[in-house]
Amino acid sequence: MRELLGIIVLIIGTLTTLYLATGYRRNVGEGRDERGILIDCKAAEKTVLLIQALAVLEILYIRFIVGDRTSPAYHGILSIALVATLGYLAVRYHYSRVM
Query: What's the total number of domains in the chain?
Result: 1
For 19-71, what is each residue's pLDDT tens digit?
Answer: 776 666 555 555 667 777 777 778 778 877 887 888 888 888 878 887 777 87
CA-angle at 87, arms to 69 and 31, nearest 5° = 135
Query: pTM higher than 0.75 for the full model?
Result: no
- DSSP label at 30? S
Q: Is 30 left (phi over 0), alpha (psi -120 to 50) or beta?
A: beta
pLDDT reported for residue 56: 82
Structural domain span for residue 77: 2-98
